[in-house]
Amino acid sequence: MGKYKRVLLKLSGESLAGDQGFGINPVVVEAIGKQIKRVHDAGIDVAIVVGGGNIWRGLAGSAKGMDRAQADYMGMLATVINALAIQDALEQQNVPARVQTAIEMRQVAEPYIRRKATRHMEKGRVVIFGAGTGNPYFSTDTTAALRAAEIEADVILMGKKGTEGIYDKDPNQNDDAKKFDNISYKEILLRSLSVMDSTATSLCMDNDIPLVVFKIDDFENIYRAAIGEDIGTTVGG
Ligand code: UDP
C-alpha cells in the first residue's frame, strides 16, 4: 500500500488540450483517464479538480474590457465542459465517475455536496469537481486546496506542463535554475515562486495540505505521484 489513501488531482485545462494548446483533445483525455484508472485500481480514492484555461480564462476577458465577474463565470462554465470530458474518458474505461459542480446544473451533473462526494469515493467512484469554487475572483488551484481540505485528501497532486517541479527560477529561461525536491509554503511565498496563486498557497499552508508538483507531459507521472514515488517537488510545512 502506498502512502496515500485519498488524493486530489489538479488538472489544468491546458493539460487536456495536447499540442493544439486549445480545446479538448479526446485522445489526450483518454490517455490521462488510463492513468487515473490505474490509480483507482490501486485502491486509492481519487478526486479531481479541473481548470478551464484551455477554453477560457476570466482574466484574459477582463484584460480586454469585460466585466471580471462575468468573465470568471464563463471560466467556471469552461471547467464543467472539461469535467464532463474526463468523466466520459473514465466511464469509457469502466471507472465509475461522478461530476459535482459548484454552480448547479442538475441536468448534466450533481451539485457539490461534500458528504455525497466522500460517499462516492467510499463506494469506489472517482469524483470530479467542476465550476471551481462557484465564486469569481478565485482559481481552480484555490478550488483544489479547498476541496482537498474538505474531503480530507492526503495530498494534492498538481501536474504542470513543461517543468519537472518547482525551481528557484524559471527553468525555461535560466539554464542554471535549480529544482527543489522539497520546499515549504512559506518559502514559496517568500521567494514569490509562481507555483499557485497566493490564495491557494495560503490555504494549503494554513491547513497543512501537502502538495506534489510534477510534470504532466508524461501522463504516467499521475500514477507515479499517486502511489507516492519520489517525483517532482513535494511541498509541505
Ligand atoms: N474561476 C473562477 N472561480 C473559481 C475557479 C475558476 O472564477 O473558483 C474561473 C476563472 O476565470 C479562471 C477560469 O475559471 O480563469 C478557469 O480556471 P483556471 O484559470 O484556474 O484554470 P487552469 O489554469 O487550471 O486551466
For residue 140, give the nearest of 8, 237, 230 by alpha carbon. 8
The 10s digit of each residue's pLDDT in 164-184 is 999 999 998 999 999 999 999
Mean pLDDT of 99-115: 98
Tell me 161's DSSP state.
Answer: S
Q: Domain limits of the chain?
A: 6-232
**H or E stretch including 90?**
helix 68-92
Distance 126 CA to ligand 1 centre (A): 21
| CA–centroid distance, residue 22 to ligand 1 (Å) | 15
Question: Which residues contact residue 126 at a Cβ distance below 8 angstroms, ignoring those fewer than 6 apart?
Answer: 36, 40, 46, 47, 48, 90, 95, 96, 97, 98, 120
SS3 state of residue 210 = coil
pTM of the model: 0.97
**Homologous superfamily of the 6-232 domain (CATH):** Acetylglutamate kinase-like (3.40.1160.10)
Residues 11-47: tens digit of each pLDDT: 999 999 988 889 999 999 999 999 999 999 999 999 9
Mean pLDDT value across the chain: 96
Residue of the CA atom closest to atom 16 of ligand 1: 52
User: Is there an atom of ligand 1 within 6 Å of 132 CB?
Assistant: yes
Q: Residues 49, 129: contact at Cβ < 8 Å?
A: yes
Q: Which of 10, 49, 79, 128 to mutate to test the pocket of ligand 1 (most atoms within 8 A of CB)?
A: 79
ipTM, two decimals, is: 0.98
Grouping H, G, I as helix, E, B as strand and the rest as coil, residue 193 is coil
- Give the pLDDT of residue 21: 87
Tell how far the Cα of 151 is from the centroid of ligand 1, in angstroms: 20
pLDDT at 1 over 70: no
Task: Tell me whether residue 112 is annotated as binding.
Answer: no
43 is in an annotated binding site: no
**2 near 226, Cβ under 8 Å?**
yes
Amino acid 20: pLDDT: 87
- Grid coordinates representing 192 are 514569490
Q: Which of 29-38, 76-85, 163-172, 203-212 has the lowest mean pLDDT?
A: 163-172
Alpha carbon of 3 to ligand 1 centroid (Å):
30
Q: Is 33 annotated as a binding residue?
A: no
Residue 2 has pLDDT above 80, yes or no: no
The pLDDT value recorded for residue 237 is 64
- The single residue listed with the C-alpha cell 457539490 is 112
Mean pLDDT for 195-208 is: 95
Range 211-227 average pLDDT: 97
Q: How far apart are CA 112 and CA 141, in angstroms?
A: 17
**For 201, left (φ over 0), alpha (ψ -120 to 50), or beta?**
alpha
Pocket of ligand 1, candidates 49, 50, 73, 76: which has the most ligand atoms within 8 Å of its Cβ, to mutate? 76
Cα–ligand 1 centroid distance for 114 (angstroms):
20
| Mean pLDDT of the region 79-97 | 98
Please, where are the H alpha helices in 93-197?
114-122, 140-150, 185-190
Ligand-binding site membership of 12 (annotated): yes
